[in-house]
Amino acid sequence: MTNLTKKVDQDTAHFGFQTVAKEDKVSMVANVFHNVAEKYDIMNDVMSLGIHRIWKRFAIDCSGVRRGYHVLDLAGGTGDLTAKFSRIVGDKGQVVLADINNSMLKVGRDKLRDLGMIGNVIYVQANAEKLPFPDNYFDCITIGFGLRNVTDKDKALCSMYRTLKLGGRLLILEFSKPIIQPLLKIYDAYLFYLLPKIGEIIANDGASYRYLAESIRMHPDQETLKDMMEEAGFEQVKYFNLTGGIVALHRGYKF
């Protein structure tokens, strides 16, 4: 590979199936989530037939979070994981709901405040690649269905590693690659044909959900993401395939 090719690779990123400049991807992804924020929860229930709640419950069960812990719910969006963690950590703990997108953060803040969760939850607009938190601060970091939208995933993983305490754990819940071949064909048909139509009907935005389908396809598979986590410094990295690998939960520790 020539130096010129390396530079081109460093300066570009995938936006779905497109290759775009890194600085453009940030604004393009932001526009997608500005568009879908108000209907995000409804679409999650429709798209997954409610199964996303089971995936998130499994992530929480694997988190090891206890009373008094400090938790970062990164790309936390509308706050589903934050709500659960807030109850677990109690008044001696803290949950940071962080998202790069202010529209998603506003929806999450309004929803959690309506639920009365104001004492131990704070809200931070933050880029996963350069987290504005001290070293060795969090007992647990979760990122649910957000890593595939990050421009530089390796940089983000290193940033998460830096802010975790020794003994802390990272949990990445994300769409992945189905491990059953017949399921893969059905899943592709759903992603690329049905999902944009549902987005058009419910959210009046088929294009954003077409991007989300493409971003799922372009996201690293289970083994690749495991290798990326280990490269960032995480140890005892393990993943769990959920719903036949449609979703995977990756867990790694900082020692």
Task: For residue 120, give its domain range.
Answer: 34-179+212-253
Residue-level pLDDT, tens digit, the chain, 255 residues: 434 334 446 789 988 898 899 888 988 888 888 888 888 888 888 889 899 999 999 999 999 999 999 999 999 989 999 999 999 999 999 999 999 999 999 999 999 999 887 789 999 999 999 999 999 999 999 999 999 999 999 999 999 999 999 999 999 999 999 999 888 889 989 999 999 998 899 888 889 889 989 999 999 999 999 999 999 999 999 999 999 999 999 999 999
Residue 3 belongs to some domain of the structure = no
Residue 58 is assigned to a structural domain of this protein = yes
- Per the domain annotation, does 188 fall within a domain? no
203 domain residue, yes or no: no
Residues 6+ apart with CB under 8 A from 73: 79, 81, 82, 85, 95, 96, 97, 98, 142, 144
In a domain, 217, yes or no: yes
Q: What was the pLDDT predicted at 8?
A: 40
Contact 101, 33 (CB under 8 A): yes
pLDDT the model gives residue 39: 84
CATH number at residue 159: 3.40.50.150
- Nearest residue to 171 (alpha-carbon basis) of 197, 134, 132, 145: 145
CA distance 94 to 91: 8
The answer as to whether 102 is a domain residue is yes
For the chain, the first-to-last Cα distance in angstroms comes to 35
Binding-site residues for S-adenosyl-L-methionine, please? 78, 99, 127-128
**Rg from Cα positions in the chain:** 18
**Angle CA(70)–CA(54)–CA(40) in degrees, nearest 5?**
80
Whole-number pLDDT of residue 7: 41
Number of domains present in the structure of the chain: 1
Feature table: binding site? 78, 99, 127-128
- The verdict on residue 246 lying in a domain is yes
